[in-house]
Amino acid sequence: MLDLAPLAEHFHTTANLGSTFDRDVFLSTLKMLADQKRLAAFGMFHEEKLVGCLLGTVAPHFLARESVSQELMWWVEPEHRGNSGALKLVLLFERWAKERGAFLNIMASFAGTDGDDRLEAIYKQRGYSLLEKHFHTHL
């Protein structure tokens, strides 16, 4: 199995969640979702090195009978962005989700980061629309 933890730690740092990245929690969560057959994990490689990934899940919608898929983490190392590799991860995830009966796919982006406008344009080209904004505070 590939070591996704370094990418997850980079994602966590950029997300500015304020907590400490915990490799064991990350890996045990992945294992739990994989055991439940609810985990999607797609990788992007450069010269056989993992440089990006998209992790997602599918679950029953809490208000309806259908299932919803949601990106958990979409991260490509900055020096490997700007080509079609990252978009291929999304296409694989969308296909995986549809095959599992999801009627809705939810993707996210970090607000105010470099490339945010470009990412929004990609989402709109794929038929996505802004659903809601999330706010957080540290307690």
pTM: 0.91
Kindly list the strands in the beta sheet with 102-106, ordered across the sheet, starting from the edge strand earlier in the chain: 39-46, 49-60, 67-76, 102-106
Rounded CA gap, 139 and 106, in Å?
A: 26
Which class is domain 5-15+39-125?
alpha beta
pLDDT in tens, the chain (139 residues): 578 999 999 999 988 877 899 999 999 999 999 999 999 999 999 999 999 999 999 999 999 999 999 999 999 999 999 889 999 999 999 999 999 999 999 998 887 666 677 888 889 999 999 888 888 887 8
Rounded CA gap, 24 and 38, in Å?
A: 19
Sign of CA dihedral 33, 95, 70, 114: positive
Rounded CA gap, 51 and 78, in Å?
A: 9
pLDDT of residue 29: 96
